[in-house]
Amino acid sequence: MVSVARLAGVSVSTVSHVINGTRHVEPETHRRVIEAIEKTKYRQDALARAMRRNRTDSIGLIVSDAGEPAFADMVHGVEEEVARLGLTLLLANSAEDPVRESRAVEALLERRVDGLIIARASGSSETVITTLREQGAPFVLMDRLEDLDVDQVAAENAGAANALVDHLVEQGHSRILLVAGDLKVPSLRERTDAFLEAVGRNALAAADQVIVEGPVAVAEAEAAVMEALSREPRPTAVIALSTVLAAGALRACRVLGLAIPRDIAFATFDGFAYSDLFEPHITTVRQPAFQIGVTAMRLLARRLEEPDSSPTVMRLESSIEYGSSTSSRFSNPE
Amino acid sequence: MVSVARLAGVSVSTVSHVINGTRHVEPETHRRVIEAIEKTKYRQDALARAMRRNRTDSIGLIVSDAGEPAFADMVHGVEEEVARLGLTLLLANSAEDPVRESRAVEALLERRVDGLIIARASGSSETVITTLREQGAPFVLMDRLEDLDVDQVAAENAGAANALVDHLVEQGHSRILLVAGDLKVPSLRERTDAFLEAVGRNALAAADQVIVEGPVAVAEAEAAVMEALSREPRPTAVIALSTVLAAGALRACRVLGLAIPRDIAFATFDGFAYSDLFEPHITTVRQPAFQIGVTAMRLLARRLEEPDSSPTVMRLESSIEYGSSTSSRFSNPE
DNA sequence: CTGAAAGCGCTTACAG
DNA sequence: CTGAAAGCGCTTACAG
pLDDT digits over B40-67, tens only? 888 888 778 888 887 888 899 999 999 9
- Residues A199, A239: Cα–Cα separation, whole Å: 13
Question: How many beta carbons lie within 10 A of that of residue B270, not counting itself?
Answer: 24
Tell me which chain B residues have a C-beta less than 8 angstroms from the C-beta of A88: 92, 103-104, 107
Question: How many beta carbons lie within 10 A of that of residue B11, not counting itself?
Answer: 12
- Residues B246, B180: Cα–Cα separation, whole Å: 10
Q: Grade residue A56 by pLDDT with cuts at 50, 70 and 90.
A: confident
Asked if strand D comes closer than 7 Å to A3 Cβ, the answer is no
- Residues B168, B185: Cα–Cα separation, whole Å: 25
Nearest protein residue to D8's C1' (by CA)? B52
Interatomic separation, CA of residue A130 and C1' of nucleotide D9, rounded (Å): 33
Q: Which of B54, B63, B111, B127 to mutate to test the interface with A (most CBs of A within 10 A)?
A: B111
Of A75-84, A324-333, B44-53, B268-277, minimum mean pLDDT range = A324-333
pLDDT for the residue numbered B330: 43
| SS3 state of residue A129 | helix
pLDDT for the residue numbered A330: 43
Chain mean pLDDT for chain A: 92
Contact call for residues A71 and A64 (beta carbons, < 8 A):
yes
Give yes or no for residue B333 having a pLDDT over 80. no
Of A174-188, B10-24, B318-332, minimum mean pLDDT range = B318-332
| SS3 state of residue A11 | coil
Q: What is the mean pLDDT of residues A9-24?
A: 90
Kindly compute the dihedral angle of the four CA atoms of residues B208, B210, B211, B214, in this order, to the nearest 10 degrees.
150
- Residues B272, B240: Cα–Cα separation, whole Å: 12
CA dihedral for B226, B232, B236, B242, sign (positive or negative): negative
pLDDT for the residue numbered A332: 37
Tell me which chain A residues have a C-beta less than 8 angstroms from the C-beta of B247: 274, 277
Give yes or no for residue B110 having a pLDDT over 90. no
Mind telling me how many Å the CA of A73 is from chain B's nearest CA? Answer: 8
Q: Do B277 and A247 touch (CB under 8 A)?
A: yes
- Residues B322, B334: Cα–Cα separation, whole Å: 8
* Angle between helix A186-201 and helix A157-170 axes, rounded to 10 deg: 40
Q: Do B107 and A58 touch (CB under 8 A)?
A: yes
What percent of chain A has pLDDT above 70?
98
- pLDDT tens string A35-52: 999 888 888 887 788 888
What percent of chain B has pLDDT above 90?
71
- Residues B135, A10: Cα–Cα separation, whole Å: 25
Q: What is the pTM (predicted TM-score) of this model?
A: 0.88
Half-sphere exposure of B158 (CA within 13 A, CB side): 6
Give yes or no for residue A333 having a pLDDT over 80. no
Residue of B nearest to A99 (CA): B83
- pLDDT tens string B196-225: 999 999 999 999 999 999 999 999 999 999
Q: Is the peptide bond before B333 cis (omega within 30 degrees of 0)?
A: no
- pLDDT tens string A230-241: 998 999 999 999
Mind telling me how many Å the CA of A221 is from chain B's nearest CA? Answer: 14
User: Which residues in range 46-65 of chain A are in contact with strand C, contact meaning CB within 7 A of any of its atoms?
Assistant: 48, 51-52
pLDDT for the residue numbered B45: 83
- Residues B307, B299: Cα–Cα separation, whole Å: 11
Q: What is the mean pLDDT of residues A247-276?
A: 96
Give yes or no for residue A22 having a pLDDT over 70. yes
Tally the residues of chain B: 334
Give yes or no for residue A62 having a pLDDT over 90. yes
Cross-chain CB nearest to A107 (options B43, B58, B277): B58
C-alpha separations of B130 from B49, B134, B135, B148 in Å: 28, 6, 8, 12
| SS3 state of residue A61 | strand
* Angle between helix A126-135 and helix A98-110 axes, rounded to 10 deg: 10
Mind telling me how many Å the CA of A285 is from chain B's nearest CA? Answer: 18
Q: Which of A44, A90, A131, A282 to mutate to test the interface with B (most CBs of B within 10 A)?
A: A90
Chain mean pLDDT for chain B: 92
pLDDT for the residue numbered B103: 87
Contact call for residues A189 and A157 (beta carbons, < 8 A):
no
Cα B227–Cα B231–Cα B232 angle in degrees, nearest 5: 165
Asked if strand C comes closer than 7 Å to A23 Cβ, the answer is yes
Give yes or no for residue B230 having a pLDDT over 60. yes
Q: Which of A110, A113, A242 to mutate to test the interface with B (most CBs of B within 10 A)?
A: A110
Asked if strand C comes closer than 7 Å to B50 Cβ, the answer is no
pLDDT for the residue numbered A148: 92
pLDDT for the residue numbered B131: 87
Tell me which chain A residues have a C-beta less than 8 angstroms from the C-beta of B262: none
| SS3 state of residue A231 | coil
What percent of chain A has pLDDT above 90?
71
Q: What is the mean pLDDT of residues B236-245?
A: 97
Q: What is the mean pLDDT of residues A74-102?
A: 91
Stated as kind and residue range, the H or E segment containing B248 is helix B243-255
pLDDT for the residue numbered A334: 34
- Residues B194, B84: Cα–Cα separation, whole Å: 37
Cross-chain CB nearest to B88 (options A58, A107, A250): A107
Q: C-alpha A327: how far from its chain's center?
A: 30
Contact call for residues B332 and B322 (beta carbons, < 8 A):
no
Nearest protein residue to D1's C1' (by CA)? B25
Q: Which residues contact B65 (CB under 8 A, 6 or more apart)?
A: A72, B71, B93, B95, B96
Closest to A327 (Cα-Cα) out of A215, A173, A209: A173
- Residues A268, B68: Cα–Cα separation, whole Å: 21
- pLDDT tens string B166-187: 999 999 999 999 999 999 999 9
Give yes or no for residue A246 having a pLDDT over 60. yes
Q: What is the mean pLDDT of residues A90-117?
A: 89
- pLDDT tens string B79-93: 999 989 988 898 999
Question: How many beta carbons lie within 10 A of that of residue B311, not counting itself?
Answer: 13
Half-sphere exposure of A227 (CA within 13 A, CB side): 12
Contact call for residues A75 and A61 (beta carbons, < 8 A):
yes
Give yes or no for residue A118 having a pLDDT over 50. yes
Contact call for residues B244 and B96 (beta carbons, < 8 A):
no
Q: Do B89 and A92 touch (CB under 8 A)?
A: yes
Q: C-alpha A200: how far from its chain's center?
A: 30
Q: What is the mean pLDDT of residues A281-294?
A: 97
Tell me which chain B residues have a C-beta less than 8 angstroms from the C-beta of A51: 45, 47-48, 51
